[in-house]
């Protein structure tokens, strides 16, 4: 897991701003979306980020990037956000927090004939992770083989409505109308 060399300068500029505010940079992306390029910084802190955190980092980064025009070539939209519910895991230390939870990992090259692994994160070691996939197999994945990894939040199933069989729509037992 390594920082995209094209974004290394942005990381160098952003890291002190984040640390000073008690924040961590989770990821930085620079990609085409819609009609233009977006530079997206994902930040977080224990307990989550506030709108004030996002606004402050956005303003500081905007000023800093304007002063260092060579950091990001061309026109772009700066976006500063939280990592969201299915947060990316971009550094080895991010995985430790998610042991025992569901992940989706994509590898740079096939491991055992596949690129995609979904399942529980069983353990984190100095050189990689072990994922118990949905097929009940344990897969050891070295950090340097991980192209992308995300926590996969599991939302609780909605409770069954009283008196409902749980099948079909609410109108399943209505008589059909004639033509």
Judge if 112 and 75 occupy the same domain. Answer: no
For residue 120, which of 151, 156, 84, 157 has the smallest C-alpha distance? 151
**pTM > 0.85: yes or no:** no
Q: Which domain holds residue 10?
A: 5-81
Kindly give the parts of the chain with pLDDT less than 50.
Answer: 161, 164, 167-176, 179
Is residue 158 in a domain? Answer: no
Number of domains in the chain: 2
For position 156, what pLDDT does the model report? 83
CA–CA separation, 30 vs 175, rounded Å?
55
Judge if 62 and 12 occupy the same domain. Answer: yes
Query: In Å, how far from its chain's centre is CA 110?
Result: 21
CA–CA separation, 28 vs 30, rounded Å?
7
Q: Can you list the alpha helix ranges (DSSP code H) found in 23-131? A: 51-67, 92-96
User: At which of 81, 101, 127 does a domain end?
Assistant: 81
Judge if 68 and 16 occupy the same domain. Answer: yes
Checking phi first, is residue 54 left (phi over 0); if not, alpha (psi -120 to 50) or beta? alpha
For position 38, what pLDDT does the model report? 95
For position 123, what pLDDT does the model report? 96
3-state SS, residue 6 = helix
CATH number of the CATH domain containing 26: 3.30.300.70
For position 153, what pLDDT does the model report? 86
């Amino acid at each position: 897991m390594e920082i995209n060399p094209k974004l290394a300068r942005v990381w160098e500029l952003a890291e002190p701003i984040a640390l000073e505010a008690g924040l961590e940079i989770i990821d930085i992306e620079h990609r085409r979306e819609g009609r233009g390029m977006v530079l997206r910084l994902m930040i977080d802190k224990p307990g989550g980020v506030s709108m004030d955190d996002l606004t402050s980092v956005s303003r500081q980064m905007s000023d800093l990037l304007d002063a260092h025009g060579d950091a990001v070539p061309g026109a772009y939209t700066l976006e500063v956000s939280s990592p969201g519910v299915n947060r990316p895991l971009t550094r080895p230390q991010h995985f430790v927090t998610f042991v025992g939870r569901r992940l989706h990992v994509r590898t740079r090259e096939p491991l055992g004939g596949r690129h995609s692994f979904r399942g529980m994160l069983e353990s984190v070691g100095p050189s990689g992770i072990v994922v118990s996939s949905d097929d009940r197999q344990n897969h050891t994945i070295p950090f340097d083989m991980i192209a992308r990894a995300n926590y996969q939040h599991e939302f609780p199933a909605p409770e069954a409505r009283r008196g409902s069989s749980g099948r079909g729509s609410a109108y399943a037992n209505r008589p059909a109308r004639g033509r």
